[in-house]
Structure 1
Amino acid sequence: MLQDIRENAQGTIAKIIIGLLIVSLSIWGMDAIIGGFSGEPEVATVNGEDITEREFLRLVQMESQRRLSRMENPDPSLLNEDQIRKDVLESLIQQRVLIQDADSQGLALTDADIDALITQMPQFQVEGQFNRDRFVSTVRNLGMGVAEFREAMRKQYVVNQIRAGIVQSGVAANENVSQLLRIQNQTRDFRVVTVPESAVADQVEITEDEVQAFYDENSSAFKQPEQVDAAYITLSLGALAESIEISEDELQAYYEARADDLAREERRAAHILIEDGEDADQTMATLQQKLADGTPFADLAKEYSIDTVSAEEGGDLGYAGRGVYNEAFEEALFA
């Protein structure tokens, strides 16, 4: 059998098959090599410039978080993911077109301009002064690096300049301009003659019938709002309580009757919820350091917590008994 295989391998058909295999593998290998250098996958191309999938997904996540924060009771299941993706993609395409137009007009910001804008933004300031730690942590919470944030600001500022120029511009026909100028240049001359009542009072006689007729026609002008003369007594629970004495025996009996309802243990908690990821440890270290430095917990919750509802209350979750939170949180809370 080995001899037959050796003889068949030297035949023409075997050589053709081997040649086809070599060509196929070569094409597959070149495609893999070219694909390896093609960079990140793109979701759209605007005038030859790609919008990467990474940029698109990051903005989709940010837009989802923004819409959740505007809900009275945030619920991710209420978000229309398809509509969010569509809106974000359209926004990215419009932004890329405006950026390309700005580049063609030579509009750009220097690094010094970007630094000036960042240092003046109130969300990066502590007691009216720019704070680099707050700047870095805020940018990281947005899922961006410092360089990436600076570049995004550079593009957005230029785009806003172009949009403002378009919104504030206008076109008027020559006839409209001429008509407006004619109206603006018009003048009016007038005179006023004042006739006092005393000058004509002796010449006018008014009968009782005329007075009655005028009153009947304008009776609503002589009406006054309806009025009520009222007296009231205020019943105050506090005032009643001062006149009642409760003995210790009565209090003990009331407690024993409701012991089951009053025996439920509750704890009040506050938290700062952060996203899990590669920056989580750094964010935790920053929070612990700021707490050690004396920064109020409530202030840190408003700045860092992604739980937007409790963040407005300084992270306060209120009172809760067992079985409300997950097991790990509950064990720490009741320990």
Structure 2
Amino acid sequence: MLMDKLRDGAQGRIAKTIFWLIILSFALAGVGSYLNRPASNDPAVVDDEVISAQTLEKSYQNERANMQAQYGEAASQLLDNPQYLAQLKKSVLDKLINQALLNHKALKAGIRLSNEQVKDAIRQMPEFQVDNKFSNEKFISTLSRVGYTPESFGNSMRQDLARQFWLDGVLTTEFTLPAEVAQLEALYQQKRDVKMITIPADAFRQEVKVSDDEINEFYKAHSKEFMQSEQVKLNYILLSAADLAKSIQPTDSDLKAYYQQHTDSFTEPARRKVAHILITNKDDKAAQDKVNDVLARLKSGSDFAQLAKTESADTLSARQGGELDWFEKGVMDPAFEKAAFALNQKNELSAVVKSAFGYHIIKLLDKQDATVLPYDKAQQVIRQKFIDDKSRELYAEQQQKLSDLGFENPDSLDSVAETLKLPLQKTDFITSKQLPAAINVPAVVTQAFAEKLRDENTNSEVITVSDSAVVMLHVVDYKPSAVKPLADVKALVMAKLQAVKAADKAREAAVTLLEKVKANQPVDDLVAKLNAKVEEKAGLTRFAGNVPAQFSQAVFKLAKPADKAISADLYADEQGNQSVLVLQKITAAPEAKDAQLKQGLAQQLVKLRQEQLYGALIELLRQKASIKYAPVSKQAVE
């Protein structure tokens, strides 16, 4: 989908606290029984609702595109792993099934949303706002890029909102007790000191020897680590308003005609520069009396600037003798603006003017009447505006023609490109990370790697790349993800195998060292022999930002030692270096004073229980529902 519209994405410090302090004892329900399967190839049927192959594929491709857009290279590494992709597709199907089950419950509960409620929810979404205001243009553009129409997105939102309303009624009954929060806070605030004795894996790399047989065995056992991503060979037509603009060469007569038709666009608007005195009072009669008195004093010869400084409620302009900046029509309060533009002589005073802010007396300081910019001076601007307008018109026309021709000639883009006189661009085999920069957007990734285009050998729909460019694709050829030949990755396989064997040797040494530490035997000689590094790490907290989370987790897993026993264990970092962690000291949390932390912990504890309840609810709904899988879906999710 376009986005997880209703997901609470709390990922901050408190959420991480809960994650590490309390281990979830539930998992979302699995796929369930495959004994009953539909005769069709639809991935699943939930009661009487069909989850079509197109729905699954679109959701799957959108999930991939969203991951790439959000996590970049980290996501790309995962998406190159076929095993992960299979798991991802399974999770997407599970999610669609769960949504269908909840939609059924919401429907049975009689939850209905009006069109206005749905529209209001959409208007509030920041994805569709410009300067904190809903933009219909951005709404249409954003939906187009991810393959939605306003109608289909509205229907999706309606279901999402109804489902969430029903879930809220079930999940919002959870609560926490003060003692639970206090215990959680004490764990959160606890500090620990440890000694860390690290044996570097590289110290054993010279001892490691690998044979060709070992390389072959490692390659076969870890083949998923040496995958070539799926690839496509594309033909595509890119339609760009900027390219169309280059072809527009207006004549002088074209520009003069355009100038005459759009005179307002080349007119400098009238402006006024005024000073004012603002009088306000909660008692309207008192305000009127005072402003009339000030006006009388001005007419008697009193200095306007001096009275503005002493009498005006507009303190900012009062410091400047009431003077305001130049302004055009449509900027000021309508009553103020009308009175200001009615003044024609410098130093002319207005009568008393009532606006939404109070009572004003306005003095004209200077004025500029509207002036039309001469053609000769505006020619460059006229030319650019002419080209912009014409390119937009031509772009809209060509976009419609591209859509029509692509539909009428579905099996190739050759005749489409020839008719439109646009270049037919081609790629060699490329992965999802290698799309040409001009068309590298999530919507294109989704279409290029969707099964539909290659299976049906058809042109894509017109895909929005930006506000001024669209593209149509045709998948010419496809290569599924496959293991790279050993000859291509032998050096990498050897390096990985050497690292594994070196880490194993380091671990053997670390186990020996750990046994001595626990037995309270001298280890200095062994530490020196192993060239191990000894560090003291004091005052560690569970979520210290200056150490890896995995390391903090290992430190806080160490048991509190009884009597004179030594609490120690092994820890391995991502490079394969092996460490012995020895617990030196535990510092209890001080008396709780952080009210904000308590509140956050309480909220996250409630959220955790809601997640547990949600998991149990989904499992129950799945047990009671009739869920049938197509044979292909079984393979995808097993």
Structure exhibiting the larger radius of gyration computed from Cα positions: 1
TM-score, L = length of structure 2: 0.22
Question: Which has more helix, going by share of residues?
Answer: 1
TM-score, L = length of structure 1: 0.41
Question: Which has more strand, going by share of residues?
Answer: 2
